[in-house]
Chains A and B, each alone.
Chain A
């Protein structure tokens, strides 16, 4: 018992200590010129660059632009993904109509579609949102279908025996039964959205965290690039926290397992 407490304390200390020591090591190596600060910068230089970028509102503005694109793309991809995934899980007809198509197009890297998306939707916001949406859609639809298919058949019998109509069947059995897998899909989709936002902002963007990275590359402003990278990591962490909170709220029955 005591040993366990000791090790859990150790784990907590280590998980703070190890990234901290890497930062210190980075800073020291930069100061003694072991590493080239023009390429790899240093924690103190990044902090110096961070403050004006934050105070001027530039960082917040670019973050807000990207967050907006991620959220719209995430919604536009996950909502049809959930609806189609449930349909495919419940109906063999819908499944056989869509599954081959989805299986065939899923392996295409979504980035490879960017030029086509730009041609179709132009250079505006729609193309960026669509790129993210399509990446999220695949992960959500596949997971939702698997979630519905994994619902124990006994629950379908119960719903039928107790006279559930179609609407009630969706609301009381299909959707709640598939929700744990839907959330797994949403979490994967959120990771995908963050990957795609950077790529989507590579071409024809005038703002955004991804755009900041590419502009920093063009201007050789390494500190700004690191700040944008840290912002992305922070966004990823924040989104996963939000999804976890949403999951705990929507799936109270899973929490206690």
Chain B
């Protein structure tokens, strides 16, 4: 799929962590280009630096080298909003105050931001819980609020860091469905990190596979499963299985390699 405009451009990005036991190269020579309105997935073994890459894109971490540029089409809109992996909605705010948090930070009047928030609360099916506190919500509901908070902020780019990783299977499928539905309506540029090949295939337009130690781009695969997608249908398609196999082959080598490496490292320590 070709994109008319580029939304994210990363060139030769690297990230080195300085620890007491020496330098660790978390990211090395990352260059990629993500189109406007693209759903871009990143998969890779744990420790491949995918979260670090996302945090640098979000401006929460600095890079050690290289450049990133995030295009803005409208100066009034925030550049990015992130959906975090762990529980991240404020326990001291009601659902509606959590969802409208980004709008409040941008000084949008209460009436207006509540209207916008209500729209997204309805979309995630939590209208009954509009004025409830997070302590009254289940884990899946909290993550829904986190997704709604990012969408309500109407950013240029959505950054999602394994947002459904901590959920049970049923909740995960439900939320993937909802995310697809909301995304297909809004068509926002989305960078989505996951460790699940299945999740990447269900959601992404392209899937970037990363290797660990150091975190590098292994390959980028175009996922042309037709949209709008129904998760239950695409899973049984031949195309899905072929893509799954090709990604799994790359990842399997990666995981076994990194395991072999780490076990020799362990041995050399003794």
Contact = CB atoms under 8 A, between A and B. Distances in A.
Given A154-B84, A176-B92, A163 B134 contact: no
B125 interface: no
Interface in B20-74: 58-60
Given A157-B60, A162-B153, A253 B91 contact: yes
A150 B62 CA distance: 25
A32 B86 CA distance: 69
Contacts of A51: none
A256 B133 contact: yes
Contact of B90 (A155, A160, A179): A155
Interface in A165-196: 165, 168, 172-173, 176-177, 179
B90 A164 contact: no
B86 A154 contact: yes
A252 B133 contact: yes
B79 to A, nearest CB: 9
Contacts of B101: 158, 162, 172
B58 A161 contact: yes
A162 B92 contact: no
Contact of A163 (B60, B91, B105): B105
B147 to A, nearest CB: 13
Nearest to A157: B60
Nearest to B89: A158
Contacts, number: 60
B102 interface: yes
A108 interface: no
Interface in A28-65: none
Contacts of A173: 90
B195 to A, nearest CB: 19
Nearest to A177: B92
A155 B80 CA distance: 17
B251 interface: no
A154 B134 CA distance: 15
B90 A162 contact: no
B135 interface: yes
A157 B84 contact: yes
Interface string A127-163: 0000000000000000000000000001101101111
B219 interface: no
B81 to A, nearest CB: 7
Contacts of B88: 154-155, 157-158
B245 interface: no
Nearest to B84: A154
A161 B59 contact: yes
B134 A158 contact: no
The interface centre, meaning the residue of A154, A155, A158, A168 with most chain B CB atoms within 10 A of its CB, is A158
A253 B59 contact: no
A179 B86 CA distance: 22
Contact of B135 (A155, A160, A164, A253): A253
Contacts of B58: 161
Contacts of A112: none
A161 B82 contact: yes
A256 B90 contact: no
Interface in B97-123: 101-102, 104-106
Contacts of A251: 92
A164 B149 CA distance: 14
B143 to A, nearest CB: 13
B84 A158 contact: yes
Contact of B134 (A160, A162, A172, A253): A253
Contacts of A172: 90, 93, 101, 104
A179 B153 CA distance: 27
A16 interface: no
A253 B86 CA distance: 20
B105 A179 contact: no
A2 interface: no
A230 B84 CA distance: 54
Contacts of A154: 84, 86-88
A160 B60 contact: yes
A257 interface: yes
The 6 closest A-B pairs by CB, nearest first: A176-B92, A253-B133, A162-B102, A163-B105, A257-B135, A161-B82
Interface of B: 58-60, 78, 80-82, 84, 86-88, 90-93, 101-102, 104-106, 133-136, 149, 153
Given A168-B105, A172-B104, 9 more contacts: A161-B59, A162-B78, A162-B153, A164-B105, A165-B105, A173-B90, A177-B92, A179-B92, A253-B133
